Structure 1
Amino acid sequence: MSGFNSRGVWAIYRFEMARFKRTVGQSLVTPVITTSLYFIVFGAAIGSRMQEVNGVPYGAFIVPGLIMLSLLTQSLSNASFGIYFPRFTGTIYELLSAPISYLELLIAYVGAAATKSVILGLVILATASFFVPLRIEHPVWMLAFLLLTSITFSLFGFIIGLWAKGFEQLQLIPMLVITPLTFLGGAFYSIEMLPPLWRQVTLFNPVVYLIDGFRWAFFGTADVGVFWSLAATCGFLAVCVAVVAWMFRTGYRLKN
């Protein structure tokens, strides 16, 4: 096959987005309601006792962390389920026999998952504006981090979808690894508030850099340098690309 099969990519992308529309209650409404509850609980209970963090009102301070929490989990969930379901039903063999390359398959599934995550992030951002006054000092950087994180974790979700042997394993890494790392990654607090020892330990948590870079785009303040955040995100993206390339080259969980 020569050339780029744009029609094949568009067909898969459109199919995945149609599934998103059919499950909009689970994919969009539920995270928005959950985010609103976070604002009610954390904003009211903790915000009344902690007025500001690094010069930012606490209610506004947690917005980037909440968006990132939903972004990471939804990117993983959308991408992993998107590629796992054809494996589960056996329709993956129809895709593999179609005139579409592995790269085009990846672009379609990851592109659809990233699109859903970006939409969700923007919706949560709009929802947050009803609860707290927000400012975005670096909107281009905010969109860049939003898009880069969505693509990176959609790639990670694609890997999980190929690796998983059952529906239980699809939720294993998001629930037992990503969510705890997000809560411990400064989503609801500044790592500068931690004791020195724990602050150093926290710096080994990669999610810290994602949240901190995203928060810097909003308020211009960060616990770690923004370029460290960008480097960490790009580094994880490169690792995911390398793993996917290996899976495609070996046919891991695709041809057996």
Structure 2
Amino acid sequence: MNWYGIRAIYQFEMARTWRTLMQSIASPVLSTSLYFIVFGAAIGSRMGEIDGVSYGAFIIPGLIMLSLLSESISNASFGIFFPKFSGTIYEVLSAPVSAFEIVAGYVGAAASKSIILGGLILVTARFFVDYEIVHPFWLLAFLILTSVTFSLFGFIIGIWADDFQKLQVIPLMVITPLTFLGGAFYSIDMLPDPWRTITLFNPVVYLISGFRWAFYGVADVNVAVSLGMTLIFLVICLTAVWWIFRTGYRIKT
């Protein structure tokens, strides 16, 4: 294992984050704070509890997941797309590092940024609403697992995209709508049939439900199912990355 190679890629990507601190960290935290102000403090104070949890606290897992998914994808996709766009990817490919070490460096950095962002949003939420964390270990586990999984997904998007516009297509046109429709601001048990059944085909439902269970011990679906769905998507992303490096799809041509 070439730890020096992994560390070099990781540190380079993390340095880019500190150079663009306003865009990478401050902007998502500020945007999420506005959600807390509008939905948590203003509207939430006029709404009743959901599953025994105040509305302002209930939406915290969904808001964190909304930022986590979009930022994980954006950070990882841009991280690999820019070297491909500028041609420096060939220097990385010709270096004495394996495909696993390249992915570990880029995905590790993107996941680290998302975990830091999730922690900052969690701290920020305390200024607007009171909340508790029933299962802190599983909270951290879901946070790390989701960050790594969607950073891998973003890495795949960065390889697939051949222009900057395509980098934003899936985060804006797919992930954000799925998050809003996945129970970020409501419990899917509040939906009438057949809409509740249809919603269960939304993979983001399982992410938000598992994350909310880690906070309050309540969930729309069984936490084991949420964990299993996340692991399945992780395996799919790992398989896709393996295929990309094995065939050289849009990375060696």
Q: TM-score, normalised by structure 2?
A: 0.99
C-alpha displacement at 1:47, in angstroms? 1.2
C-alpha displacement at 1:50, in angstroms? 1.6
Conservation of the 8 A alpha-carbon contact between 2:40 and 2:129: no
Q: Distance in 1 between matches of 2:150 and 2:199?
A: 20
Q: Distance in 2 between matches of 1:202 and 1:35?
A: 24
Indicate whether 1:141 and 2:138 are aligned: yes
Matches within 5 A, 1:47-196: 47-196=44-193
Quote the residue 1:247 is aligned against.
244
Conservation of the 8 A alpha-carbon contact between 2:45 and 2:56: no
Indicate whether 1:216 and 2:183 are aligned: no
Residue 27 (structure 2) aligned to one of 30, 45, 53: 30
C-alpha displacement at 1:51, in angstroms? 2.1
Q: Stretches of 4+ moved more than 3 A in 1?
A: none
Q: Distance in 1 between matches of 2:84 and 2:40?
A: 42
Q: TM-score, normalised by structure 1?
A: 0.98
Q: Distance in 1 between matches of 2:10 and 2:214?
A: 30
C-alpha displacement at 1:79, in angstroms? 0.2
C-alpha displacement at 1:46, in angstroms? 2.8
C-alpha displacement at 1:45, in angstroms? 4.2
Gaps of 5+ in 2: none
**Deviation readout 1:114-165 (Å, 9 max, x if unpaired):** 0000000000000001111110000000000000000000000000000001
Quote the residue 1:39 is aligned against.
36
Identity of aligned residues (%): 68
Q: Which amino acid aligns with 1:227?
A: A
Q: Distance in 2 between matches of 1:226 and 1:209?
A: 8
Quote the residue 2:197 is aligned against.
200
Q: Secondary structure at the match of 2:70?
A: helix
Q: Secondary structure at the match of 1:127?
A: helix
**Deviation readout 1:225-249 (Å, 9 max, x if unpaired):** 0000000000000000011110010
Instruction: Count the aligned residue pairs.
Output: 253
User: What is the alpha-carbon root mean square deviation over aligned residues?
Assistant: 0.7
**Deviation readout 1:14-33 (Å, 9 max, x if unpaired):** 00000000011001111111
Gaps of 5+ in 1: none
